[in-house]
Amino acid sequence: MVQPEPEPQSGEDLLIARYFRPLATHPGARALVDDAATFTPPAGADLVLTTDALVGGVHFFPDDPADTIARKALRVNLSDLAAKGAKPAGFLLSLALPETLGAPWLEAFARGLGADAKDYGCALLGGDTVRTTGPLTLSITVFGTLPQGTMVARSGARPGDLVVVTGTIGDGALGLEVRRNSGTAECWRLDQRQREHLLGRYLLPQPRNALAEALRQHASAAMDVSDGLAGDLRKLCAASGVAAEIEVARVPLSEAARQALARDPALIETALTGGDDYEVVATVPAGAKDALMAEAKAAGVALTEIGIIRVDCPGVRFLDQGGKPLLFKKASFSHF
Amino acid sequence: MVQPEPEPQSGEDLLIARYFRPLATHPGARALVDDAATFTPPAGADLVLTTDALVGGVHFFPDDPADTIARKALRVNLSDLAAKGAKPAGFLLSLALPETLGAPWLEAFARGLGADAKDYGCALLGGDTVRTTGPLTLSITVFGTLPQGTMVARSGARPGDLVVVTGTIGDGALGLEVRRNSGTAECWRLDQRQREHLLGRYLLPQPRNALAEALRQHASAAMDVSDGLAGDLRKLCAASGVAAEIEVARVPLSEAARQALARDPALIETALTGGDDYEVVATVPAGAKDALMAEAKAAGVALTEIGIIRVDCPGVRFLDQGGKPLLFKKASFSHF
């Protein structure tokens, strides 16, 4: 009289089994068939935890490829771990799905997520999948580990420290402009490669996890640049009680961004205050700069010195080549 | 030339500072001004992690009070920790807010969340707040701790173990019926108190965290009952490779549920297969039953023996008073 075999399963169970169980390679994920996951922290480790939500039509375009939506959702979280000097350990995914997204979409989504989970050594440990009448909404909570008490905080910058930034700044915000308005690339006289570079940088962040250990060892403060270099650096300075002086000419720009700025110099404000960079801005004591630079080079992560920390009221001063400060209308992206 | 003081802040920063920073009492939350939180696990502990998403119009009524929405979102996660035998440690909140919800709503939401965070010893460690064009969507990731390797899994039930369940079953599903259709309470001849009992049980789960340590010490398997006792127990049996035989007459029902069933005996299916119980179903070796029952009594958690685990093909058999099996149209709630 027992219910017939094979065990009847709900649609939710089947969805999890089909798309997400193959990603749950960590034993603590228990093949996603328990209420919770387990994780045994390494002895002497702190957990570093962060969560980021992405909403269709707000953080990505609803018609962006499913695999890049998944990867972006994971990578924006990984970027936080990178800035804190933590090693990725695992993540949990909450997925609110509109009815319009069917099997092919889910299959591509899971494929992208699985590829990045593997590449970044960050296993899927659990999740929840629900229906929504609204846009696709994803929330990922990621956690990493590092030796106890060694997280790179925002609050450690000291006068005399140098300010460094990874990669290039502004590509994400400029890429969003190109994505929003197809005439933009032509207006900026971008060639095909430059256009694709900017679009790609908006679509898929490149978190700097390869630099995490070097930051942990040498940086006095760090944060990931997600809402614009100007506003994010201002937050770091506020937390540290210091001022930063940035030479705009030293801020690293991609060839595509330089081309856009050559056509419209006012775009420097977009580059410095727009979101979606997912680079790391850090401060480093002068004596540790060479070691950090050498380790960045070994890790294959471009790292550029852009300024210095001063004793002053907390804030950021961006100086042009004549030493004159730039003033921005709005320092950073905010939802509210 | 530094930007003027007081430090200009984005709307998102102000929202976090005003409503959520007062909740971030754990030092690892760093007053919500860093990219990530830290948590130092107790030596020899495993982390137990789980996440649950709630969508307005799906998991709660959009006009439910803001404080109970917040508390429900935290409690459905705490319920998972309770069933696993873990002690709550902290949580991260992702909140996708429609524009219609303003300051009074947020104030009540944060107040409810803070009250439960305090009562359950589960601190707000971080979060993300974003805009959505869709319904209010919350995702909470909660984590707890327990001695390494001692999580109560779904897979540990063995033939001869007794099946026990906390609290009363079916109130949440019956409460939802009452909430959906105002004539229902009258139809079931519920008095005011019975009606409010069922509505309250749907609105605000009572997770059984007070029983967590006793479950960890004595239960062979456990899970929280969120999608209906029948379907959830079937999942436990599938994970354990056993069959459960449940005496329907022993399943604990509230006075209100008994009144409803007296009017409409077919509601037993709603009670046994409907969601939103947030009780714990567990199995316990016969020799440990008395100890578990005594500890449940000491903890003030009602715990009722409802059946036994048998050697059979995995599944659940619900027997009526004549020993005849009940058959259900649908064993549990599923979004898909």
Question: Can you tell me the distance from the alpha carbon of B152 to that of B163, in angstroms, rounded to the nearest whole number?
Answer: 14
Does position B139 have pLDDT exceeding 50, yes or no? yes
Q: Which of B1, B234, B335 sits opposite A317 (nearest CB)?
A: B1
Residue B231 pLDDT greater than 70, yes or no = yes
**Residue B335 predicted with pLDDT over 90:** no
Cis-peptide into A6, omega within 30 deg: yes
- Report the alpha-carbon distance of residue A291 to residue A174 in Å, rounded: 32
Report the number of secondary-structure helices (H) and strands (E) in chain B. 11, 11
- Would you call A23 helix, strand, or coil by DSSP? helix
Inter-CA distances, A246 with A156, A290, B226, Å? 18, 19, 54
Asked if B2's CB is within 8 angstroms of A314's CB, the reply is: yes
Average pLDDT, chain B: 93
The token duo for A112 is 């992208």
pLDDT number for residue A1: 31
pLDDT of residue B2 exceeding 70, the answer is: no
For residue A80 the two structure tokens come to 């936080």
pLDDT by residue (tens digit) across B295-334?
999 999 999 999 999 998 889 999 998 999 988 876 665 5
pLDDT digits (tens, 9 = 90+) for A221-275: 999 999 999 999 999 999 999 999 999 999 999 999 999 999 999 999 999 999 9
Percentage of residues of chain A with pLDDT beyond 70:
95
pLDDT at A224: 97
Residue A3 confidence (pLDDT): 35
ipTM of the complex: 0.92
Per-residue pLDDT, averaged over A31-44, amounts to 94
Model confidence band, residue B6 (pLDDT cutoffs 50, 70, 90): very low
Residues A71/A76/A80/A86 CA torsion (nearest 10 deg): 0
Q: Nearest by CB to B127, which of A43, A51, A84?
A: A51
One-letter amino acid at A101 equals L
Q: Which residues of A touch B331 (CB under 8 A)?
A: 3, 8
- Distance to chain B for A289, nearest Cα, Å: 23
Query: Which chain B residue has the Cα nearest residue A3?
Result: B315
Which residue intervals of B190-307 are DSSP H helices? 192-203, 212-218, 229-240, 255-263, 267-273, 289-299
Question: pLDDT band at residue B5, thresholds of 50, 70 and 90?
Answer: very low
Q: Residue B182 has what pLDDT?
A: 85
Contact across the interface for B50 and A36, Cβ inside 8 Å: yes
Separation of alpha carbons B304 and B163, rounded Å: 8
Tell me the DSSP string of A75-121.
HHHHHHHHHHTPEEEEEEEEEEE-TT--HHHHHHHHHHHHHHHHHTT
Cα A168 to Cα A281: distance, rounded to the nearest angstrom: 11
Strand ranges of the sheet holding B123-131, from the earlier edge strand across to the other edge: A37-39, B45-55, B137-147, B87-97, B123-131
- A10 vs A289, residue with greater confidence: A289
Instruction: Output the pLDDT for position B327.
Output: 83
A210 min Cα distance to partner chain B (Å): 18
Task: Count the Cβ atoms, other than its own, within 10 Å of residue B265.
Answer: 9
Distance CA B15, CA B105 (A): 12
In this model, does residue A71 exceed pLDDT 70? yes
Q: How near does any CA of chain B get to the CA of A196, in Å?
A: 28
| Closest B-chain CA to A80 | B35
DSSP 8-state secondary structure symbol assigned to residue B318 = E
CB-CB under 8 Å, B55 with A132: yes
Q: Report the alpha-carbon distance of residue B252 to residue B240 in Å, rounded.
A: 24
CB-CB neighbors (< 8 A) of A239 in chain B: 33-34
pLDDT for residue B331: 61
pLDDT value for B1: 31
Instruction: Identify which of B82, B76, B333, B153 has the alpha carbon closest to the alpha carbon of residue B230.
Output: B333
* Cβ neighbours for B236, distance < 8 A, ≥ 6 positions apart: B154, B157, B221, B222, B223, B244, B281, B283
Please answer yes or no on whether A55 and B239 come within 8 Å at the CB atom: no
Give the mean pLDDT of chain A. 93
Considering only alpha carbons, which residue of chain A is nearest residue B316? A2
pLDDT at A14 over 80: yes
Instruction: Answer yes or no: do B36 and A317 touch at CB < 8 A.
Output: no
Distance of alpha carbon A266 from its chain centroid, rounded? 25
Nearest Cα of chain B lies from the Cα of A4 at a distance, in angstroms, of 8
Rounded Cα distance, A175 and A254, in Å: 12
Among B15, B38, B141, the residue with its CB nearest the CB of A336 is B15
pTM higher than the cut 0.90: yes
Q: What is the mean pLDDT of residues A216-222?
A: 98
- C-alpha B118/C-alpha A132 separation (Å) is 30
pLDDT of residue A2: 35
Instruction: Round to whole Å and give the CA distance between A19 and A83.
Output: 31
State the nearest Cα–Cα gap between A36 and chain B, in angstroms: 5
pLDDT in the model for residue A284? 98
Q: Which positions in chain B touch A153 (Cβ < 8 Å)?
A: 30, 34
The torsion angle over the Cα atoms of residues A246, A249, A255 and A259, rounded to 10 degrees, is 120
The stretch A91-112 carries a mean pLDDT of 96
Distances (CA, A) of B278 to A36, A49, B27, B77: 15, 26, 30, 10
Please tell me which residue of chain A has the smallest CA distance to B93: A51
DSSP string, A230-277: HHHHHHHHHHHT-EEEEEGGGS---HHHHHHHHH-TTHHHHHHH-S--
User: Under DSSP, is residue B286 helix (H, G, I), strand (E, B) or coil?
Assistant: helix
Contacts of A6 in chain B (CB under 8 A): none
Residues of A whose CB is below 8 A from B151: 36, 38
C-alpha A86, offset from chain centre: 14
Give the tens place of pLDDT for each residue, B155-194.
999 999 999 999 999 999 999 999 999 899 999 999 999 9
Comparing A280 with B335, which gets the higher pLDDT? Answer: A280
**Predicted confidence (pLDDT) per residue in A113-137, tens digit:** 999 999 999 999 999 999 999 999 9
Average pLDDT over residues A73-82: 98
- What one-letter code names the amino acid at A254? S
Residue A55: which of B132, B231, B239 has the nearest Cβ? Answer: B132
CB contact under 8 A, A154 and B52: no
Q: And the tokens for B319?
A: 């027997």
Q: Distance from B189 to chain A by nearest Cα, in Å?
A: 34
Q: What is the pLDDT of residues B31-87, one digit of tens each?
A: 898 999 999 999 999 999 999 999 999 999 999 999 999 999 999 999 999 999 999
| Average pLDDT value for residue range B151-156 | 97
